[in-house]
A and B are shown apart, each in its own frame.
Chain A
Amino acid sequence: KQEVTQIPAALSVPEGENLVLNCSFTDSAIYNLQWFRQDPGKGLTSLLLIQSSQREQTSGRLNASLDKSSGRSTLYIAASQPGDSATYLCALNPNSGYALNFGKGTSLLVTP
């Protein structure tokens, strides 16, 4: 079964710093990989989706990369802001129409 690991589990940075969140997975046979944001007590907000054939996706200050051969994905957040504080979840889709396999998330705190 696909295992998804996110490191670090928690991260605290001062405002303005660039940061990288890591996601590793054991089975490279994936359909796509998705990064989500979850605020406390709330649902999921999709940030970026990378198809299996893609290497990266960008949206504003966010950039996600995918390296299937090494079983890794990173989420890069540029110029972090206090409003970025949330839990970031990495999820893998093994195939179209299948359920997602989630990591445990990285809890990010950006201090003013």
Chain B
Amino acid sequence: DQQVKQNSPSLSVQEGRISILNCDYTNSMFDYFLWYKKYPAEGPTFLISISSIKDKNEDGRFTVFLNKSAKHLSLHIVPSQPGDSAVYFCAASAWGGSQGNLIFGKGTKLSVKP
């Protein structure tokens, strides 16, 4: 049973436009959500996070939106750049991750075309 779902395996966007990556979750106990970025042959690297008590968190070109009622979050990248091309993983944890329970989605491969 997948608790964190990324239903789009891939996304292609033109440079300069907005990239929107989506993530759905099923566990209402999740209280922290994180996005990781992964380049080929490298490990995932932390990008941005949001607490369940907020609905938006912004860091430069990256903004994460959380809709708790819909159990949905999204990552917006504006403007998209070719260097943003990577696999993006959504992750979630309950109890602040104190149970070591950071659960990942399967990822969405973003391609930003020049």
Is B one of A's binding partners? no
